[in-house]
Amino acid sequence: MRLATAASEAYTTPLAVSELLGCKQCAAGRDQDEVPGRGAERAAGYPGGWAPRRAILQVGSEDAQMHALFADSFAALGRLDNITLVMVFHPQYLESFLKTQHYLLQMDGPLPLHYRHYIGIMAAARHQCSYLVNLHVNDFLHVGGDPKWLNGLENAPQKLQNLGELNKVLAHRPWLITKEHIEVSNEGLLKAEEHSWSLAELVHAVVLLTHYHSLASFTFGCGISPEIHCDGGHTFRPPSVSNYCICDITNGNHSVDEMQVNSAENVSVSDSFFEVEALMEKMRQLQECRDEEEASQEEMASRFEIEKRESMFVFSSDDEEVTPARDVSRHFEDTSYGYKDFSRHGMHVPTFRVQDYCWEDHGYSLVNRLYPDVGQLIDEKFHIAYNLTYNTMAMHKDVDTSMLRRAIWNYIHCMFGIRYDDYDYGEINQLLDRSFKVYIKTVVCTPEKVTKRMYDSFWRQFKHSEKVHVNLLLIEARMQAELLYALRAITRYMT
């Protein structure tokens, strides 16, 4: 109730946003013994992210549309989280994102509220994203969740434990999902006993899992700082370090990067300027000579295979062993199960033909049937993310970026073994350079390993808002890929 009244204030008075943040702190302070004095150092509301402070929108300078979004978000969540503050670079998307998230977490649905947050925690913990975990631990307790569950998955009800396996596979190797995961069998979810899931519940859970897997990608991909009321959120850190996500610090792999970051910034401007030019040139070429040299069918097929195989070896050199942050690790039973070990061994990823099972025709119908309205919301979100463009590239205006966006989208799907028959995968090689591929790969598959150096080293001339845009594409493509595999398995189960 307190939240509701606070929100109505936010509507009626044209708030200077510092006040708004003030509300946020007191609203959020419900479960934290926060010392206001310490929080005040960050009161300017720096949401983190690897974009420098000046590039991030200062709360208070937003336009009317953004303000309305902030107000809505605040009313729904009782806070203005850092993800929102970073995403507001793209208000159109943010609106759809918030609507979907609100529906998933708070509106009518087959799962009880605390289950939803717990599933969010499970999903985020798969990627050791302490930011999201902390956020949802608070929410989970707030909606009346049992604190005991937080001591680990084995303390949660059997029903949620059963979801653990699906969560694991979905996060790291979605192509391995079969209808046996769903089926009425030993490991399946729809067992005919009390801990079983109904199909509607299962779809809700799957949507939540994929949502939070990809949101974890976003959090790491943009380097979102912890909320001010969360652990580590209110510690004062000198500006140079505050660019790091707390998870990186706990992971202990930042000290090396620190030096390299600075050196990376010294790369001559002219050098990176040419990067953009070269990219645009390639796009132009592809546009023009596309019809001239037609690759043979075999060529096209092999290009996809090559790209898929290569994508497995695209990895930053510094993937040392990571010890997960302690507070999060309790949510997995099996930390060793990750993307990494399969890529090292070059496991074969089967090809998934999108023409046989695509989101628009099949996925949508299934989701909407089992969890009404959500299909529509997610569909809108995919559409906005896929079609979002400002026709700019770095300093250039009026550029048709559809080709580039499609290359990014299809590259991510390619990593998951999803193939578009009508796409020439040679384009990917032309348009995405290695450092960019490394970044994409890391964000999508092992987000916990993203470093600021990776973020800085691709597309150096591009604006931060554009890099956030890339991240939006990444997370939506990832979510769709995971959903496609999961929904296909459910469809197969149903037929």
Partner 1 sequence: MEKMSRVTTALGGSVLTGRTMHCHLDAPANAISVCRDAAQVVVAGRSIFKIYAIEEEQFVEKLNLRVGRKPSLNLSCADVVWHQMDENLLATAATNGVVVTWNLGRPSRNKQDQLFTEHKRTVNKVCFHPTEAHVLLSGSQDGFMKCFDLRRKDSVSTFSGQSESVRDVQFSIRDYFTFASTFENGNVQLWDIRRPDRCERMFTAHNGPVFCCDWHPEDRGWLATGGRDKMVKVWDMTTHRAKEMHCVQTIASVARVKWRPECRHHLATCSMMVDHNIYVWDVRRPFVPAAMFEEHRDVTTGIAWRHPHDPSFLLSGSKDSSLCQHLFRDASQPVERANPEGLCYGLFGDLAFAAKESLVAAESGRKPYTGDRRHPIFFKRKLDPAEPFAGLASSALSVFETEPGGSAMRWFVDTAERYALAGRPLAELCDHNAKVARELGRNQVAQTWTMLRTIYCSPGLLPTANLSHSVGKGGSCGLQLMNSFNLKDMAPGLGSETRLDRSKGDARSDTVLLDSSATLITNEDNEETEGSDVPADYLLGDVEGEDDELYLLDPEHTHPEEPECVLPQEAFPLRHEIVDTPPGPEHLQDKADSPHVSGSEADVASLAPMDSSFSLLSVSHALYDSRLPPDFFSVLVRDMLHFYAEQGDVQMAVSVLIVLGERVRKDIDEQTQEHWYTSYIDLLQRFRLWNVSNEVVKLSTSRAVSCLNQASTTLHVNCSHCKRPMSSRGWVCDRCHRCASMCAVCHHVVKGLFVWCQGCSHGGHLQHIMKWLEGSSHCPAGCGHLCEYS
DSSP secondary-structure letter at 196? P
* Footprint on residues 455-494 left by partner 1 (CB under 8 A): 491, 494
- The answer to whether 269 contacts partner 1 (rule: CB under 8 A) is no
Q: What are phi and psi of 308, to 5 degrees?
A: -65, -45
| Cβ atoms of residues 175 and 416 within 8 Å | yes
In the complex, the smallest distance separating the C-beta of residue 354 from partner 1, rounded to whole angstroms, is 9
Q: How far apart are the first and last CA of the chain?
A: 46
In the complex, the smallest distance separating the C-beta of residue 292 from partner 1, rounded to whole angstroms, is 12
Among 43-51, 316-324, 354-362, 464-472, which window interacts with partner 1 (CB under 8 A)? 354-362
Which pair of tokens denotes residue 346?
Answer: 């070059």
Chain-centroid distance, C-alpha 256: 26
| Cβ atoms of residues 203 and 366 within 8 Å | yes
- The answer to whether 373 contacts partner 1 (rule: CB under 8 A) is no
Among 133-141, 306-314, 353-361, 426-434, which window interacts with partner 1 (CB under 8 A)? 353-361
In the complex, the smallest distance separating the C-beta of residue 197 from partner 1, rounded to whole angstroms, is 18
Q: Which of 187, 277, 361, 373 binds partner 1 (CB under 8 A)?
A: 361
The site map against partner 1 for 3-22 (x = CB under 8 A) is: -xx-----------------
* Footprint on residues 46-75 left by partner 1 (CB under 8 A): 68
- The answer to whether 356 contacts partner 1 (rule: CB under 8 A) is yes
Long-range CB contacts for residues 110-116, cutoff 8 Å, separation at least 24: 110/198, 110/200, 110/201, 110/204, 110/371, 111/201, 111/204, 111/205, 111/208, 113/143, 113/144, 114/140, 114/143, 114/144, 114/145, 114/146, 115/160, 115/205, 116/204, 116/208
**Residue 27 or 86 having the CB closest to partner 1:** 27
Q: Which of 362, 396, 460, 463 binds partner 1 (CB under 8 A)?
A: 362
Give which of 419, 261, 262, 446 is closest to 350, Cα–Cα.
419
- The answer to whether 364 contacts partner 1 (rule: CB under 8 A) is yes
| Cβ atoms of residues 209 and 166 within 8 Å | yes
In the complex, the smallest distance separating the C-beta of residue 440 from partner 1, rounded to whole angstroms, is 23
- The answer to whether 422 contacts partner 1 (rule: CB under 8 A) is yes
| Cβ atoms of residues 129 and 247 within 8 Å | yes
Check the CA dihedral 419-425-431-435 and report its sign.
positive
d(CA 356, CA 350) in angstroms, rounded, equals 14
* Footprint on residues 293-332 left by partner 1 (CB under 8 A): 294, 297-298, 300-301
- The answer to whether 241 contacts partner 1 (rule: CB under 8 A) is no
DSSP 3-state of 86: helix
Q: Which of 353, 390, 391, 400 binds partner 1 (CB under 8 A)?
A: 353
Chain-centroid distance, C-alpha 219: 6
Q: Count residues contacting partner 1 (CB under 8 A)?
A: 28
Among 220-228, 289-297, 333-341, 435-443, which window interacts with partner 1 (CB under 8 A)? 289-297
d(CA 110, CA 367) in angstroms, rounded, equals 13
**Residue 168 or 405 having the CB closest to partner 1:** 405
In the complex, the smallest distance separating the C-beta of residue 224 from partner 1, rounded to whole angstroms, is 29
Q: Which of 369, 372, 390, 400 binds partner 1 (CB under 8 A)?
A: 369
**Residue 325 or 414 having the CB closest to partner 1:** 414
**Residue 176 or 301 having the CB closest to partner 1:** 301
In the complex, the smallest distance separating the C-beta of residue 184 from partner 1, rounded to whole angstroms, is 18
**Residue 406 or 463 having the CB closest to partner 1:** 406
| Cβ atoms of residues 188 and 182 within 8 Å | yes
**Residue 277 or 294 having the CB closest to partner 1:** 294
**DSSP letter string over 132-151?**
HHHHHHHHHHHTT--GGGGG
List, by residue number, the catalytic residues: 129
Residues in contact with partner 1 by the rule CB under 8 A: 1, 4-5, 68, 290, 294, 297-298, 300-301, 353, 355-356, 360-362, 364-366, 369, 376, 379, 420-422, 491, 494-495
